[in-house]
Homo-oligomer: A and B are copies of this chain.
Amino acid sequence: MPEGLRAVEAAARTHDVSVDFTEFDFASAEYYEKHGEMLPSDWYDVLEGFDAILFGAVGWPDVVPDHVSLWGSLLQFRRGFDQYVNLRPCRLLPGVPSPLAGREPGDIDFVVVRENTEGEYSSIGGRMFEGTDREFVVQETVMTRVGVDRVVTYAFELAQRREAKHLTSATKSNGISISMPYWDERVAEIGARYPDVDRDQFHIDILAANFVLRPGHFDVVVASNLFGDILSDLGPACTGTIGVAPSANINPERAHPSLFEPVHGSAPDIAGKGVANPVGQIWSAAMMLEHLGHAAAGQSILDSIESVLAERSADVVTPDLGGAGTTTSLGAAITERI
């Protein structure tokens, strides 16, 4: 997070943008330890007035179970602030070796548009016959016309602005027989309004396989909450490391603050060691500037990231990129170059 803030400050300075940060200590496991909950009860009012939220990675299972920490923070924000688009670019950057054989920078460049407020992430369901052999749980997937249509429309609009003008829909209507056929239906209906956008769809199983087998096929991939979650970790893995992957949880109408966070989790195994790759956080900050109307400032951060990574200097880049650098050395190199 400190590296993300420094990058924003540098970009703001060079592009004459004024930024004003307020730090909050909630939504962390430390806060939970002290207060028994992740957020203060007035979190909504406290945050609603801000333009954007730059968010770190959450989760520390030794202290608080993951579903408690996440449903108590990130997932509250996404739903509370109606951040219904989760935008996750996957790009093979120069200097980041891909685990896929023979792929070069430029070969992989797509964006996952993930539905971010409903779908498989529902809070409806429960448990019955507890503690007996008849015990079972149900959990409902909920897809609304409003929810599906707006994110699918966003994805088509985005595809239309891109060079390839190609949209892929992630489905599983052969197996998930009620919700996913509905998803397909809405995609087809909305797609008919964008005749200049090439459209295809894959079941999620073979779609995941194709991220590995022919990642160059994809341009914009629109997906439900769960499928988008999976694809946006898998995509970055194909581009080398999820340590560099950014994400933007957007309320496109800007009626509420949007939230920018790295795709990676909190990685408790390396917490405090100072070796976490800061690029995911920094790139997320660049997306924040772009969302706030400062595209040039955002782009300057992205350019710096690309130029520093391309050099692959061993004492600058972090261990996940094959270097011996630290969070600070990599962050500082990027900030200096902005």
Contact = CB atoms under 8 A, between A and B. Distances in A.
Contacts of A132: 145
Given A204-B230, A209-B242, A179 B145 contact: no
A126 B141 CA distance: 11
A173 B66 contact: yes
A205 B230 contact: yes
A265 B120 CA distance: 25
A238 interface: yes
Interface stretch (A9-17, A33-41, A67-75, A152-160): A67-75
Contacts of A175: 67, 70, 75, 120-121, 225-226, 229
Contacts of A70: 174-175
Most buried by B among A134, A204, A212, A236: A212
A174 B133 contact: no
A208 B120 CA distance: 18
A311 to B, nearest CB: 21
Interface string A88-104: 00000000011111100
Contacts of A181: 65, 67
Contacts of A205: 229-230, 232-234
Interface string A194-216: 00000000011110111011000
Interface residues of A, number: 69
A319 to B, nearest CB: 14
B98 A172 contact: no
A137 interface: yes
Contacts of A136: 142-145
A176 interface: yes
Contacts of A100: 99-101, 212
A305 interface: no
B208 A174 contact: no
Interface string A146-174: 10000000000000000000000000111
A137 B173 contact: no
Given A125-B178, A181-B67, A208-B230, A98 B99 contact: no
Contacts of A142: 136-138
A237 interface: yes
A137 B182 contact: yes
Contact of A137 (B97, B143, B241): B143
Nearest to A235: B209
Most buried by B among A135, A145, A174, A206: A174
Contacts of A234: 205, 208-209, 212, 234
B144 A141 contact: no
Given A59-B174, A137-B143, A205-B234, 15 more contacts: A65-B181, A66-B173, A67-B173, A70-B175, A121-B175, A121-B176, A123-B178, A127-B182, A136-B142, A138-B141, A141-B141, A205-B230, A208-B234, A209-B242, A213-B237
12 contacts: A67-B173, A67-B180, A70-B175, A98-B101, A125-B141, A125-B178, A137-B142, A138-B140, A138-B142, A140-B141, A212-B212, A230-B230
Which 5 A-B pairs have CB atoms at the shortest separation, nearest pair first?
A209-B237, A66-B174, A205-B233, A135-B145, A139-B178
